[in-house]
């Protein structure tokens, strides 16, 4: 594993979430799953044999999902950002991450069916909203602020005025 691994606390859906994510992202895999042991069961009241943690990889980045129980829901205070080369990639990730109960939020942000926040960002977006021509950048930013899923052509059109 790398020096920094994203750790996600789920109530009881860690394994389902890890499978969901590894099916969406290329070059991804489930690496390892550990269950609650009888000694942990006695200490925390979780049934032995139930999945405790799942290690998985999403396109080269390491993650651990844990079934820690309720009381620590995800918020949009932290999100995972997906860099996309074009509109087709934006559409692909957007559709899959919002599937089966995910929610569109705003400005390229969404929350998946497990409550994890994601940003689906075309690689051109940072260049457009930080362009040295401030009027162009402001028009691009204003267009983005009105969107849920980012539509590259609409932001480019707005930037050009």
Q: What is the DSSP letter of 7?
A: E
Residues 43-69 have pLDDT tens digits of 556 665 678 899 999 999 999 999 988
Domain ranges of the chain: 6-67, 79-160
pTM of the model: 0.90
Task: For residue 113, name the pLDDT band (cuts at 50, 70, 90).
Answer: very high
Which helix H or strand E contains 85, and what residues bound it?
none
pLDDT at 39: 62
The rounded mean pLDDT for the chain is 92
Q: Where are the beta strands (DSSP E) in 5-160?
A: 6-10, 29-35, 51-58, 61-67, 79-84, 103-104, 109-111, 117-122
Topology (CATH) of 6-67: 3.30.720
The pLDDT, as a whole number, for residue 69 is 85
Q: Could you tell me the fold of the domain covering 79-160?
A: 2,3-Dihydroxybiphenyl 1,2-Dioxygenase; domain 1 (3.10.180)
Evaluate if residue 42 carries a pLDDT over 60: no
Classified as helix, coil or strand, 140 is helix
């Amino acid at each position: 594993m790398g020096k920094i691994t994203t750790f996600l606390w789920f109530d009881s859906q860690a394994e389902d979430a890890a499978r969901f994510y590894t099916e969406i992202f290329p070059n991804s895999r489930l690496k390892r799953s550990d269950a609650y042991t009888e000694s942990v069961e006695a200490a925390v009241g979780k049934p032995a044999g139930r999945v405790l943690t799942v290690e998985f990889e999403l396109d080269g980045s390491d993650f651990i999902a844990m079934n820690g129980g309720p009381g620590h829901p995800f918020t949009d205070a932290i999100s995972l950002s997906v860099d996309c080369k074009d509109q087709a990639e934006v559409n692909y990730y957007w559709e899959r991450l919002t599937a089966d109960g995910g929610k569109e939020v705003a400005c390229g942000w969404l929350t998946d069916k497990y409550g994890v926040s994601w940003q689906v960002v075309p690689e051109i977006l940072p260049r457009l909203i930080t362009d040295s021509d401030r009027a162009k950048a402001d028009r691009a930013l204003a267009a983005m602020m009105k969107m849920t899923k980012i539509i590259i052509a609409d932001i480019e059109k707005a930037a050009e005025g």
